[in-house]
Amino acid sequence: MSTATPSSAANDTRSAQRFWWDKETYSPVPLKHGTHIYAESAEVMLFAYALEDGDVFVWDRTADEVWRLTGNEDDPIELAETLEPGAVPVAVLEAADEPDVHWWGHNTGMFDWVVTSHALPWLARMVPQERRRDTMVQAYCHSLPGALGALCEVMTVDAADAKDKRGKELIQLFCKPPAKNLKRGRATRETHPVEWREFIIYAGKDITSMRAASKKMPMWNYAGDELALWHLDQTINMRGVAMDLDLAEAAVAAVDRAQVDLAHRTQELTDGEVESARKRDKLLAYLLAEFGVDLPDMQKSTLERRVDDANLPWALRELLAIRLQASTTSTSKYKTLLRGASSDGRLRGTLQFCGAARTGRWAGRLFQPQNLPRPAIGDLRDEALQEAIDQGIDALKLGVADLIADNVMELTSAAIRGCIVAPPGKKLVVADLSNIEGRMLAWLAGEDWKLQAFRDYDTIIGVDAKGKEIRKGHDLYVLAYAKAFGVKPEDVDKFMRQIGKVMELALGYEGGVGAFLTFAAAYNIDLEDMAEKAFDSIPAEIMDEARGMYEWTLKKRRSTFGLSERAWLVCESFKRSWRYAHPEVAGFWKDLGAAVVDATQYPGKTFTCRRLKVRRDGAWLRIRLPSGRYLCYPAPQVDDRGQFSYMGVNQYSRKWSRIKSYGGKLVENVTQAASRDVLGSSMPTIERSGYEIVLTVHDEDITEAPDSPEYNADHLAQLMSTNPVWAQGLPLAAAGFESYRYRKE
């Protein structure tokens, strides 16, 4: 990707010098178990460094030698210095001691500084957080790939400076314990002197790679408040979260016992032909041969539809139910956290700053806290569900879960949040921004009626006889249905409200029938049943439009997603009703899509779209958010049909490739990004107020606080819902709870 040179104003302050560093480490603990548990036993073998654009040196700590990269192809390194045993190169000490020197490395936040805190603690103490920088985070902040090799390719770094691909083999040789089937011991400088020399050269070239790549990247999103937020993120990751390891071990044991039982039941039902329901292909073949049922796949949605079909034989439905239980994957998280927890029982390194490339949201790592399963036990809801989970946790820890639960796999999946606990003397204080995306979308689009509806709903005017709050306005899911179908909010029942919820979640980003189908499945709405109930309430003119679209869909041979005509028509009608009720949002999709196309075609010109600024400079198209942060779209293009695309990491293939986008998708990007900015804006204040953030999950902050009344969920919610200066007029609200064990509220 060719790049425009970032302006000097966008670059890091020139008053501070850059000290580039990297290191090669060894630990008997596999890195896949987590950096922090790896680091507890890690040692630093090589330490590469350079000041600004100066020579690159590699400190071989196994030999107390310092080597210099010469740039000479025939003799690429030369011995620069021999140290006294245990001594540190003067250049490293001076760079650590100098307050105007910033330490730059690649993946230093999630790896190098973690290892350093254990293996070289004196260095971690000398270089405070505010002097640390990370080129991987710099890349993530601008929607670029994080891996150094891929980054060098994308930024067209000269081959002489690019990541050395030979490094993978050398790392496998020197940085990892030998495979169990190999008789040799650990590879070292003494056992492999030729390869060790290559290893030193490789370590030095990593400095030239990151240095060259960083110079080609902008600094728009890696300075000021964003840089300070990353420093706070590093504190949160190093702090970690307390885990109930006893619960995790009990859950793993319960799952193992349950899998044995499920396998026995499978063997009994199949006369031994299928040894386990987890054997996908064997089970599919058996179902076809024995029952004549040819299932397209073994996905959860497929099985759930068939397991309740009373027309199917009991034995078939029982096998499908066993498969549903046996294939539950969320229980693997217990093993992950057990492997990754530090010796003090805390799990660290679970959040990647700006890990979501398009929006800058946090991404989960290791335990994947952003992807915890939705708790479910049978048909239980709300208080009854949480009570069952609490009882299940007690039973798991006593080893008797099978006595109270018909489905142990379901129980362990529902209980996974409960592994997050408060340490002794503290409590968890948790709060969540209420419907932040819905509020942000209305604010960005200028949907004034909806903004007022949020304000009215947030206004509490009293309490009823049961102590329940009385609000000035209606619940927004109720209002969504009422406004779409022209009925009074008071007449919206529970079923209608659920439809309103799916409409709000599915249709705000130009989604259609397919999006409605996806969210309906997530909330267990039977679309055929819904169609029967809702069909007669749809206005005639809306239904006529839907019929016309259905005929066009059939004519063009587009997918109807396996829905009946009636169900498809109802979903299409819901889409149209929602759009008519939200004219500003629908206009926002069109306006932002047009602004992005125009900006791509007219570089150097700024286009205003409501609260956003869109501009292309060189190979970068940027959307300036109200917070001042930019969404970055590298290498933008508009084809002959007016289709906008850019280069990015494909979320499915994980490869750097061209990605098409459109108005609704761009609106989704900016809405989620601006919502993330609201969440991030309050985090420094939350920390200063005595709430130590241990995790952020979507729009929720999980904190540890002293177990005293002045630290409470209402106070945390107030801090979270305080408008940042750039978001005046945005109606914010938050709510939360206090507990000694985390749960879904």
**Residue that has been written with the tokens 């909010």 in this structure:** 489
Contact 713, 429 (CB under 8 A): yes
The answer to the question of residue 631 being in a domain is no
The answer to the question of residue 371 being in a domain is no
The answer to the question of residue 433 being in a domain is no
d(CA 68, CA 87): 17
Residue 654 region, left (φ>0) first, then alpha (ψ -120 to 50), else beta?
Answer: left
What is residue 181's predicted lDDT score, i.e. its pLDDT? 58
What is residue 5's predicted lDDT score, i.e. its pLDDT? 39
Encoded amino acid at 454, one letter:
F
Angle at alpha carbon of residue 449, lines to 447 and 455, rounded to 5°: 105
Quick one: 211 and 260 in the same domain?
no
What pTM did the predictor assign?
0.92
What is residue 150's predicted lDDT score, i.e. its pLDDT? 92
Q: Which residue, of 532, 566, 581, is where some domain finishes?
A: 581
What is residue 223's predicted lDDT score, i.e. its pLDDT? 96
The answer to the question of residue 634 being in a domain is no
How many residues belong to the chain? 745
The answer to the question of residue 3 being in a domain is no
Quick one: 515 and 572 in the same domain?
yes
| Domain span holding position 479 | 449-454+462-581
The answer to the question of residue 710 being in a domain is no
What is residue 293's predicted lDDT score, i.e. its pLDDT? 83
Instruction: Tell me the two tokens of residue 455.
Output: 């304000």
CATH code, domain carrying 117:
3.30.420.10
Quick one: 297 and 191 in the same domain?
no
Quick one: 405 and 496 in the same domain?
no
Quick one: 254 and 206 in the same domain?
no
Q: Which residue, of 581, 598, 633, is where some domain finishes?
A: 581
Contact 120, 44 (CB under 8 A): yes
The answer to the question of residue 2 being in a domain is no
Instruction: Tell me the two tokens of residue 673.
Output: 């990004």
Quick one: 253 and 129 in the same domain?
no
Quick one: 504 and 388 in the same domain?
no
Number of structural domains in the chain: 3
**What secondary structure, in 3-state letters, does 707-738 show?**
CCCCCCHHHHHHHHCCCCHHHCCCCCCEEEEE
Quick one: 249 and 157 in the same domain?
no
The answer to the question of residue 689 being in a domain is no
Buried/exposed 622-641: b ≥16 CB within 10 Å, e otherwise: bbbbbbebbbbbbbbeeeee
Quick one: 189 and 329 in the same domain?
no
On the CB side of 244, how many CA atoms lie within 13 Å of its CA? 20
Quick one: 191 and 300 in the same domain?
no
Tell me 416's DSSP state. Answer: G
Give strand ranges (E) for 536-638: 606-609, 612-617, 620-624, 630-634, 637-638
**What secondary structure, in 3-state letters, does 163-222 show?**
CCCCHHHHHHHHCCCCCCCCCCCCCCCCCCHHHHHHHHHHHHHHHHHHHHHHHHCCCCCC
Query: Burial level of 78, CB count in 10 A (0-12/13-18/19+)?
Result: exposed
Encoded amino acid at 213, one letter:
A
Instruction: Tell me the two tokens of residue 122.
Output: 């004196």
H or E element, residue 619:
none
Quick one: 262 and 207 in the same domain?
no
C-beta contacts of 453-459 below 8 A and 24+ residues apart: 453/479, 454/731, 454/733, 455/731, 458/731, 458/733
- What radius of gyration, in Å, describes the C-alpha atoms of the chain? 29
| Measured CA distances, 99 to 19, 447, 510, 522, 669 (Å) | 12, 49, 50, 52, 38
Quick one: 309 and 380 in the same domain?
yes
What is residue 251's predicted lDDT score, i.e. its pLDDT? 96
Q: Which residue, of 563, 581, 599, is where some domain finishes?
A: 581
Over the chain (745 residues), the average pLDDT of each successive run of 10 is 42 75 96 95 98 97 97 92 96 97 96 97 97 98 94 87 78 88 81 96 94 96 97 97 97 93 93 90 90 82 78 88 83 91 96 94 91 86 91 96 91 95 97 96 97 96 88 92 85 87 92 89 82 88 95 93 92 93 97 98 98 97 98 97 95 89 97 98 98 96 98 98 97 97 92
3-state secondary structure of 23: strand
**What secondary structure, in 3-state letters, does 457-517 show?**
HHCEEEECCCCCEEECCCCHHHHHHHHHHCCCHHHCCHHHHHHHHHHHHHHCCCCCHHHHH
